[in-house]
Amino acid sequence: MKKAVVIIIIIILISPFIYAKGDYGTPGEFLTWGAGARSLGMGKAFTGLADDATAIYYNPAGLSFQNPLQISLNHVMLFYDTMFDFVAITYPVSGIGTFGLAYTRLGSTGFEGRDARWTSLGNFDIVNQAIALSYARDITSWLGVGLNIKLITENIFDKNAIGYGADVGLMWVPSEYFSFGLSVINALPPSLKLSDTSESFPIIIKSGFALKLFGERAIPVIDIEKEMSKKDLKFRFGLEAYPLQSLALRLGMDETELTFGIGYTFMKYYKIDYSLSSQELGFTHRASLTLAFGGFDINLLVEPKIFSPVGIKKTVTISIYAVTKYPIKEWELNIINEDGDAVRTFSGDDKPPAFLIWNGKDDRGLPVGDGEYKCVMKVIDKNGKEIVSGAETVKISSTLPMQPGTIQLEE
């Protein structure tokens, strides 16, 4: 963890120089606040990682390397009756790419309207909203591109405005240890006109990288942002660490706040994230929930869990769920004993069958001994990408109870 410690020290040393005020009041500012408690806990330095549904917000190209269908929900209570909400859904389609849909809302309530004579006109809200439709796909096994088409609305009292825009992104993943992202926010700038003057959103270029160290137990990230109408650069730093496989600890910093976060994954497909930020107005709490299921994956299901080749249940059925982004070139399923040796191997080309039946014998046709065995499957798609399933355990026991009503005869 020495590298992670060094990164933290560097962040602390340079923080006085980059911890500055944000560009409040900029058109479309609510689309730069970040989304998802996970990335917010990392100081919004997410352009080069972008490996969950919030990639729609940070870098749509990140969707190109994601597998499961995801739903992400984020709710933030800000200051002075202001709330920020973000909802995203991603859907991968085999051989085509990944589609996404996101909704962002910033709303403030409790404003009192008055006319020129100071007569009350009642209370009103200020609401900014954005809907983004995304598409991304990998051009090669290490390069992906993405696009957002955005619809923006703004409502203030009796004034309403609507505009359209687009974002583009690129993700470069040359190895399992490093990724680089580039995102152009408002590549097609939205323009909104509430009254007499139109306001165009600024073009923002963001680049970032992520390192995956110690088997992805530590992930430092850095973002650099440049608004085309301004000279200065903005830097964001973050770190995600996994002391346990299902527990994540995070810290980060950008130009407006210091952030801390924690995340927990349960049942493999459900994630709860929380972040706390310290800024000029005080502390802000953020929470989000992410659901992940389906998508491209290799899963096995063994039934029954215990069987006996000499008993009533003489075989075990191994059900196979194999859905990959690109067509499968070859597959292999190994049944491994407690010593780590493969005693039985099934293999083939193209798509594997829906299920296989094992009769408790090895590749030579001889019965294997009692004990626990693991079923593991590996597939290789036409692009050469290897995907390995999790291990499913099955137990062979020759001492299983007999069927009721039967009598065992001694020889």
397 to 263, 301, 311, 407: CA distances (angstroms): 41, 19, 9, 19
- pLDDT at site 18: 42
Pairing outcome for strands 204-211 and 218-227: antiparallel
Q: In the predicted model, what is the mean pLDDT of residues 102-112?
A: 81
Residue-wise pLDDT for 128-179, tens only, equals: 899 999 999 988 888 999 999 999 998 877 788 899 999 999 999 998 899 9
Domains and CATH numbers, the chain: 2-293 (2.40.160.60), 297-396 (2.60.40.2550)
One-letter identity of residue 353: P
> Has residue 408 got a pLDDT over 60?
no
Please state, in angstroms and rounded to a whole number, the distance separating the CA atoms of residues 75 and 66: 23
Q: Which residue has the higher pLDDT, 108 or 279?
A: 108
Task: Judge whether 273 and 36 are in contact, CB under 8 Å.
Answer: yes
Residue-wise pLDDT for 173-209, tens only, equals: 998 899 999 999 999 999 888 777 778 899 999 999 9
Residue-wise pLDDT for 361-398, tens only, equals: 999 999 999 999 999 999 988 877 788 888 999 999 88
DSSP 35-95: -SHHHHTTTT--TTT--STTHHHH-GGGGGG--SEEEEEEEEE-SSSEEEEEEEEEEEETT
Residue-wise pLDDT for 277-335, tens only, equals: 877 666 788 899 999 887 777 889 999 999 988 878 889 999 998 888 788 899 999 99
Question: Would you call 184 helix, strand, or coil by DSSP?
Answer: strand
Calculate what percentage of the chain has a pLDDT beyond 90: 54
In which band, very low, low, confident or very high, does the pLDDT at 110 lie, cut at 50, 70 and 90?
low
- pLDDT at site 407: 47
One-letter identity of residue 355: F
pTM: 0.74
Question: Would you call 17 helix, strand, or coil by DSSP?
Answer: helix
Pairing outcome for strands 306-307 and 392-396: parallel
- pLDDT at site 171: 96
List the structure tokens of 303: 């039934």
151 to 62, 73, 183, 391: CA distances (angstroms): 21, 19, 18, 45
